[in-house]
Structure 1
């Protein structure tokens, strides 16, 4: 059925259908606390700029029987969710003109970058380190620098020197391959071209402070450690809090459910503070390449993994680090977000976030379809009402509905023979001036059989109808529907009469 996604209109909470879905999410997560090593869990569900639900389970310190429960302000290590921030830096520097293009080669910003590519001998060397590939698991770079661990504390120049004698794992841009190295290298190289000259300082000044994410950062100070939920391995053994050194941009950060909710609202474009222009934000949340085979996601993007679920792309960034697991996820068409933070390993079995969305997606979709506003009426229907024709082939009547809204009815022998009555009349939603928008219905079949062809109702839904300037009688002489390549639909003086066979 269409439209495939409902409009993300504001909802009047609480709604019973959402309340029931959120209770099921609460039950799913509460049950997961019995998994080995899971000591604490905090989660938040966001719609538009509203927190719909928060859930906090377990104990902040699972080793202390007297420990209290966590809350949305409890800190957790967020591991690979940290990779969102180098990508935000890339996009912001692109908006500011410091990065001229998202597909600039890395060599433009790190002149000594080079790596052997025995798998793509025909490709140009400068294609091996394109910025958007570095930010989307398409760089082909190894997971880490040769002979290093996540605790390596070298410099960016040392990293570039190590890469000279290394080889790409896959030909860039051809296959999804997870690389922690790519994000750390991107962050350090770009930071050298900012006024701050330091990656962590840039993130603090350009992302964390503007969004009010005061409980998010990099340094595990004594004050931060005191607020962290204690992490555990699956065996129940406490996990150490180690520093990632040069790999910090890829996994060092800590945060809270409340802070990550602020980031979700900003990325969905729902709140007063935005990190990127709408066009850049749309690019950020779009997939770049399908990932067939054994890769753990359907598609990859910057820096996301995309998972197909119930007709939607769920935009996710998952992270797992000793003693902690985390997921940051968005469903942009619904302006929906879910953050899940765990002190302990990710529970075995069906994925918790997927199970949560199995409850949330149909509930929110149904609520939005029910809440969709009716077509807005124009100040006066008179200038637009009447009969119209396109080249004497198709005929239309525009008239006012019960609430003053305009309705466009197709009629004539051919239409009446082929098009079901329910879909001959479309609403005209007034936008401004003489411009309206076609609105088929809340739900409708995407296509209809039309003789030997098919009529796409999906293509009609949402198209703009531009009426001509009014004549001396105060009437519009006709209209265009540019999106359907339909022009000069002209007014008739009277209702046409058709000869019967």
Structure 2
């Protein structure tokens, strides 16, 4: 059957009028209730920007999606991508202590992975004065970012957000690339993705940042500082249009910057979520959020005068971005960005792809499908596209469900669930027929506990019997 485009497979190029009205209403409500001078929003669906809107305190002068806002800790997602590029090139290992690459810091035992996931135990902030509102020239060296006794918790034991930890990661990039962090970012990430309006310092047109008085409708301009050594923690300025490009990249990857597999690694929880019914977690430079029953990943950001939020929903193929130029206010742009995702998902739920048969069918693999038994527990093995396999228990939902990627040597590697990273092999009988499956030492046979010579520990010679 020829591979022809299917209209049901292609997302609408534009959102429905009712959806667009609901998105604008959410943005307008947030700007008014949050008493922020301006707020911008953008939505990306299946990798394409499909909506942008803005509300402002000035009638007829709402900012466009090309106006820069400071994005605060959203900067950390960019820093993490640079570090993961270094790892993928073999220039570092995530298990490396930072001392190996930045000797002499007081945080030398912390690993790269712990810094990325905020599990290093390092202090949340620099020694005073508050770095977000003062000139970075006050902290010219790494020793000025963390000194004394910076550890607040044992490394690797719990999540504790650390801005100085990302300053160390920025310095790590500089050391291994031999040039300033911002230059590396522009050359390796921003330019390949076409993000020409994302910069370390503001470039016109850009918004001014303000604090709004808590008890009166009055405003105070916030200082626009260069944070110096702390840049990788929260320095960047960007636009709604550029952040829409960034959201599309975080969703699908780009071979010029970072592979999809590495981005998938970044959004897996690396810091242990707190509480049984966790609603927020952290991966490698990406925040995780459960919102209205959906799992989102992205990041929030704030600096004096500015706040930002970007969330991607993989299951819906939708991302939301929100920017505001006020120091505080409720609802936050992070909440608004999540709500933009929710509105699109509720108004225009994603259509499933049409079922299609396999394009290439290997009869030997087809013969492996069907029921298998681990001891007395029944499993079903299914063949998927690209010679991939899926193993799931038969019976009530739950249990050890895993997908497996085909390898060149004829084995398969687990991609998720209990068997992630484990090897699945076909073990053949002396006559060349399929004897059993070996899954990380677990033996799966075509009948419960048989044949005896394949089952670890053997099988009672009397076989199954009544008692």
Number of the residue aligned with 2:105: 113
SS where residue 84 of structure 2 aligns?
Answer: helix
Structure 1 match to 2:341:
357
Q: Distance in 1 between matches of 2:229 and 2:106?
A: 19
User: RMSD of the TM alignment (CA)?
Assistant: 4.0
Aligned to 1:198: 180
**1:481-496 to 2 correspondences below 5 Å:** none
Q: Secondary structure at the match of 1:139?
A: coil
Matched, 1:90 2:83: yes
Q: 1:149: which partner in 2?
A: 130
Q: Deviations over 1:331-367 (max 9, x none)?
A: 2343321111112245315832343333234455x43
Q: Does 1:285 align with 2:267?
A: yes
| 1:390-433 per-position Cα deviation (integer Å, ceiling 9, x unaligned) | 79x9xxxxxxxxxxxxxxxxxxxxxxxxxxxxxxxx9x88736x
Alignment of 1:98-497 (within 5 A): 98-99=91-92, 101-115=93-107, 128-150=109-131, 151-154=134-137, 158-160=141-143, 163-195=146-178, 197-220=179-202, 224=203, 226-235=204-213, 236-269=219-252, 274-292=256-274, 298-349=280-331, 351-363=335-347, 366-368=349-351, 371-376=352-357, 431=385, 454-456=395-397
State the structure with more CA Rg: 1
**Looking at both structures, which has the greater relative contact order when contacts are Cα pairs under 8 Å and sequence separation is at least 6?**
1
CA 1:485–1:49 in structure 2 vs 1: closer, same or farther (change >3 Å)? farther
Q: 1:111 to 1:233 in 2, by over 3 A?
A: same
Pairwise CA distance, 1:481: 9.3
Cα shift readout 1:205-230 (whole Å, capped 9, x = no counterpart):
1111111111110123xxx1x30123
Runs of 4+ in 1 over 6 A off after TM superposition: 379-386, 388-391, 436-439, 457-466, 477-489
* Aligned match of 1:39: 37
Does the CA-based 8 Å contact 2:435-2:445 persist in structure 1? Answer: yes
Q: CA deviation at 1:278?
A: 2.6
Change (3 A) 1:57 1:10: farther
Inter-partner Cα distance in structure 2 for 1:36 and 1:130: 39
Equivalent residues of 2:365, 2:383 under 8 A apart = no
Q: What are structure 1's unaligned runs of at least 5 residues?
A: 1-8, 116-125, 394-425, 440-445, 449-453, 467-476, 490-501
Cα shift at 1:154: 4.8
Does the C-alpha gap of structure 1 residues 377 and 263 become closer, same or farther in structure 2, counting only changes over 3 Å? closer
Distance 1:10 1:194, change over 3 A: farther
Question: Which deviates more, 147-156 or 229-238?
Answer: 147-156
Given that residues 384 and 390 in structure 2 are in contact (C-alpha distance below 8 angstroms), is that contact kept between their aligned partners in structure 1? no
Question: CA separation in 2, counterparts of 1:241 and 1:309?
Answer: 33
Task: Identify the range of structure 1 (305-314 vs 205-214) with the bigger mean alpha-carbon deviation.
Answer: 305-314
Distance in 1, matches of 2:68 and 2:384, equals 48
Q: Structure 2: how far apart are the matches of 1:209 and 1:341?
A: 22
